[in-house]
Amino acid sequence: MEQRKRPGCSDGLGYYTSWDKSKENGCIYCGKPATTREHVPSKAFLIEPYPDNLATIPACFECNNGFSNDEEYVACFLDVLKESIYRGYSRSLATTQRLEKNANLKMLLDEQIKVTNGTVQYTFDEKRLCRILIKLAKGHAGFELDYISFDDSDIQIDYDFVFNMSEADIDRFEEIPQTNLFPEVGSRSCMTPYIVQNISTGESAAFMFWNEVQDNQYRYQVSYNSSGGICVKIVIFELLYCRVDFD
Ligand SMILES: [Zn+2]
């Protein structure tokens, strides 16, 4: 599978955001020297056959492996919750296989998601979920806009399940933001056809489209927020809607 690379990364630019075996790289998550490349999003949220051309970023060995347990938990939790809520939806083969191999995780999910008389009750480990959502958002912001942040204190995270959201909430979330702030030259977004010019006024505006990584599995959008920070929106399994702001 060919890996999608963030271009424009010679001369030190992209040290943390573009994996290149022939040069030194830094881990996008912790800043230490990176020895591995990681997919964004992680394959834990995708199903086979995987999409071609998945984005990759540099990560150190510890970070690359240190998120796997929580990613497995989040992916399985969301898939089993989706199956419990939506009639006609069945968990993926990947989820079935993961739970067959991991009895502790299966037990945990049996505790956390209960269906009685057609009513679904659920609880989840918010810390593990947020850890993974922030990690995914950092990967997208790094890959798309060459943005890095090792300080988690400036991060705001907001998420909900689609069945708890009103139509207005969903519309607001789905909106394609228009911005006059242009990404840095060399960042990948400069190369996507999203700059639109108004014929009557001659003004240019930038639109940040959704990146559909895999149908019904994963999509994301990276844009600038109203305070000039970066906003990453992620939809996992068309169930969890999440917004992470880096200010
Ligand atoms: Zn690291």
Residue 98 in any domain: the answer is yes
| Separation of CA 4 and ligand 1 centre (Å) | 21
Same domain, 112 and 156: no
Which strands, in side-by-side order, build the sheet including 204-207?
A: 178-179, 204-207, 195-197
| Separation of CA 7 and ligand 1 centre (Å) | 22
| Separation of CA 142 and ligand 1 centre (Å) | 14
CB contact at 8 A, 244 and 220: no
Same domain, 103 and 190: no
| Separation of CA 132 and ligand 1 centre (Å) | 14
Residue 34 in any domain: the answer is no
Of the residues 110, 126, 142, which one is the last residue of a structural domain? 126
**Amino acid 53: pLDDT:** 85
Number of Cβ within 10 Å of residue 136's Cβ equals 24
Q: What is the rounded average pLDDT of the residues 221-247?
A: 93
| Separation of CA 40 and ligand 1 centre (Å) | 15
Question: Which residues are near ligand 1, the ion (C-beta closer than 5 Å)?
Answer: 27, 29-30, 60, 63
At 25-54, the pLDDT tens digits run: 899 999 999 999 999 999 999 999 999 889
Q: What is the span of the domain harbouring residue 108?
A: 68-126
Same domain, 172 and 237: yes
Q: Which residue has the higher pLDDT, 142 or 204?
A: 142
**How many domains does the structure of the chain reveal?**
2
Question: What are the residues whose beta carbons fall under 8 Å from the beta carbon of 162, sequence distance 6 or more?
Answer: 170, 238, 239, 240, 241
Strands (E), 63-154: 113-116, 119-122
Q: What is the rounded average pLDDT of the residues 2-6?
A: 67
Residue 195 in any domain: the answer is yes
Same domain, 167 and 221: yes
Residue 240 in any domain: the answer is yes
Is the per-residue pLDDT at 22 higher than 50? yes
**Amino acid 198: pLDDT:** 61
Report the C-alpha gap between 81 and 162 in whole angstroms: 12
Of the residues 91, 109, 126, which one is the last residue of a structural domain? 126
| Separation of CA 199 and ligand 1 centre (Å) | 47
Is the per-residue pLDDT at 192 higher than 60? no
Report the C-alpha gap between 236 and 222 in whole angstroms: 15
Q: What is the rounded average pLDDT of the residues 221-236?
A: 90
Residue 205 in any domain: the answer is yes
| Separation of CA 58 and ligand 1 centre (Å) | 9
The whole-model pTM stands at 0.87
Q: Which of 20, 34, 24, 242 is nearest to 140 (CA)?
A: 242
Q: Which of 135, 138, 194, 143 is nearest to 9 (CA)?
A: 143
Residue 217 in any domain: the answer is yes
Same domain, 115 and 165: no
Same domain, 155 and 242: yes
Same domain, 174 and 212: yes
Residue 53 in any domain: the answer is no
Same domain, 191 and 110: no
Q: What is the rounded average pLDDT of the residues 73-99?
A: 97
Q: How confident is the model at residue 128 (pLDDT cuts 50, 70, 90)?
A: very high
| Separation of CA 226 and ligand 1 centre (Å) | 30
Residue 142 in any domain: the answer is no
